[in-house]
Structure 1
Amino acid sequence: MTSHVPPPPAIRYLAVTLDCPDPAELARFYSEALNLPVAHSTDGFVLLGHEGAPGLGFYRLDDYQPPTWPDSSVPKQAHLDLGVDDLDAAEARLVALGAVKANTQPLPDRRRILLDPAGHPFCITL
């Protein structure tokens, strides 16, 4: 007797969504940093991305507390890794858009850690 195993359901990656106090402001930062258009927007949520491609979302959380990385009293939970060709130029552009360079930089010649306008750590890496 053979058992029939149904095929796996179609599952596709849609987006990563970051909690934040102001979705429109954080979406503006990442839209300019990554050259992504706004695909969908409501008062409490903004999704960046191109039609049919995975996106990056921002969800309003009224009691949002930014991560305290590298201190773990408020964990970072997740972070984005962005590839760049020139660390110094990318860092300068992202800081001009509203990011802040983190005080801790474990591998500054290969990777820089920045904080987005809502305090989420993210990396730019060669």
Structure 2
Amino acid sequence: MSNHVTELIAFTIDSSDAGRLAQFYADLTGGEVTGVYPEYGYAQASVLGATLNFQTVQDYTRPQWPGQDQPQQYHLDLRVGDLEGASDHARSLGASIADTQPEGATWRVMLDPDGHPFCLCP
């Protein structure tokens, strides 16, 4: 038997509202919310063949991108066919376009409703 890790089960993201953020990412990607457990402050979404978990954190503090006073902690890179259409879709779900964009970038940095950065990449 191997001592290596054999499977990534899920990626867990801190949030001010786990159920809301699970729904945001499900709607953004065409995925689905597979569980919301408010008694545990936990929610789960099936997204692009992966599982994202969300946990509600009391006194959650939004990341500040690109500054590091409150670091981003992680970001997701998501492939899109139409950058403008995907940006508009994300904004309709509650995301915002980050004020700071990388110089000459062909991708767009967005912020989810809790301030986590994610990139839309054509």
TM-score (norm 1): 0.87
Structure 1 gap ranges (5+): 1-5
Post-superposition, which runs of at least 4 consecutive aligned residues in structure 1 deviate over 4 A? none
Q: 1:76 to 1:109 in 2, by over 3 A?
A: closer
1:45 to 42, 46, 63: 42
2:10 to 15, 19, 32: 15
Q: Indicate the residue corresponding to 2:83 in structure 1.
A: 87
Q: Note the alpha carbon deviations across 1:23-79, whole angstroms, 9 max, x for none.
A: 1111111111111112222001111117xx530111000121111111110000101
| Contact 1:31/1:48 (8 A) holds in 2 | yes
Identity within the alignment, %: 36
| Contact 1:13/1:54 (8 A) holds in 2 | no
Q: 1:24 to 1:7 in 2, by over 3 A?
A: closer
Q: Which has the larger radius of gyration?
A: 1
Q: What is the Cα-based RMSD across aligned positions, in Å?
A: 1.7
Aligned counterparts of 1:108 and 1:31: Cα–Cα separation in 2? 30
Q: Indicate the residue corresponding to 2:51 in structure 1.
A: 55
Counterpart of 2:53 in structure 1: which amino acid?
A: G
Number of corresponding residues = 119
Matched, 1:98 2:97: no
Q: 1:109 to 1:86 in 2, by over 3 A?
A: farther
Residue 106 of structure 1: how far off its partner (Å) = 1.0
TM-score (norm 2): 0.89
